[in-house]
Amino acid sequence: MRRIALRTPKIVAEIDGGVGWITLNQPERRNAVSLEMWEGLGDVAEAFEADADVRVVVIRGAGGRSFAAGADISEFEQRRADATQKRAYAEIAARGQRGLAELSKPLLAQVQGFCVGGGLALALSADVRFATPASRFGITAAKLGLGYEYAGVAALARLVGPSAAKDILFSARLLDADEALRIGLVNFIVDDAQLEAEVRAYAQRVAANAPLTVHAAKAALRVFERYTANPEGAAGIDRLVDGCFDSDDYREGRRAFLAKRPPLFQGH
């Protein structure tokens, strides 16, 4: 196994037998994704894309309790407190998000425990998702008062359909693994004890296939997704999302989260 040197210890990158492994390594915060981690994800995506030895990539969370419990909300007061800060934050995070989303090589998500908010956005960038019976999925933006970006909403709707996407976004509830499988949010459910072995075996199976064929198939499906996802009107969505980040409700959502109390939203 070969390890890739990164600028942050919160992202671990390794290559083993044609498979690149990305580990979100902040288990003390349930692998909540910090800005430092987004930078690391951009670096590792770039490294794996350029490395001819890597034919498949797997992303997972350290600790076994959580894939990623959303963005690291503890940073929001200093780094993401309004629409202006949100745009600066997004510019840094976008490189990591885009790097994973635009990998030409198949990306697998190995999900244990919570996969919520920004964590679900990471899982949605994968081509195939594995989960365990205890995995839980959701987008809880409506409980915090922040806006969920158009690209993430579109990716969710393409995968599960608009009706299921509306339920997930409006209710902000957590889905169990069986429901996630039923609506197509995940591809496989595997017991915890067998999860890594199953993911490893699947990754090796894909790595053993003709790389040009796999590459062409992923490229064709990416064109299909982009062709069917009409971005007209997305600028209007961006304005609505900015309004969320500049709202009193978002400030109340952050205060309530830090105080561990229910938020009292007023709609402004």
Share of the chain above pLDDT 70, in %: 93
Is 233 contained in some domain? no
pLDDT of 258 strictly over 80? yes
Instruction: List, for residues 185-197, the tens digit of each pLDDT value.
Output: 999 999 999 999 9
CA distances from 53 to 1, 4, 19, 20, 21 (A): 12, 13, 8, 9, 12
Rounded to two decimals, what is the model's pTM?
0.85
Assigned token pair, 157: 């709707």
Instruction: List, for residues 71-121, the tens digit of each pLDDT value.
Output: 787 776 666 666 677 677 777 778 888 899 999 999 999 999 999 998 999
Residue 233, class by beta-carbon neighbours within 10 Å (0-12 exposed, 13-18 middle, 19+ buried)? exposed
In the prediction, which pLDDT does 242 show? Answer: 82
pLDDT of 169 strictly over 60? yes
Q: What sign results for the dihedral spanned by CA atoms 121, 122, 127, 132? A: negative
Is 246 contained in some domain? no
- Those residues with Cβ within 8 angstroms of residue 106's Cβ, 6 or more apart along the chain or in another chain: 55, 56, 57, 127, 128, 206, 214, 218
Is 75 contained in some domain? yes
Q: How far apart are CA 253 and CA 259, in angstroms?
A: 10
Residue 46, domain extent:
2-193
Strand boundaries in 17-106, DSSP class E: 19-24, 56-61, 66-69
Q: Which long-range contacts (CB under 8 A, 24 or more apart) does 227-231 make?
A: 228/158, 229/154, 229/158, 231/150
Q: In what order do the strands lie in the sheet with 114-116?
A: 66-69, 114-116, 136-138, 175-176
The tally of domains found in the chain comes to 1
Report the phi/psi class of residue 18: left, alpha or beta, with left for phi > 0 and alpha for psi in -120 to 50.
left
Is 199 contained in some domain? no
Is 221 contained in some domain? no
Is 264 contained in some domain? no
CATH code of the domain containing 153: 3.90.226.10
Q: How far apart are CA 71 and CA 184, in angstroms?
A: 23
Strands 19-24 and 56-61: parallel
Is 177 contained in some domain? yes
Is 106 contained in some domain? yes
Q: How far apart are CA 67 and CA 121, in angstroms?
A: 11
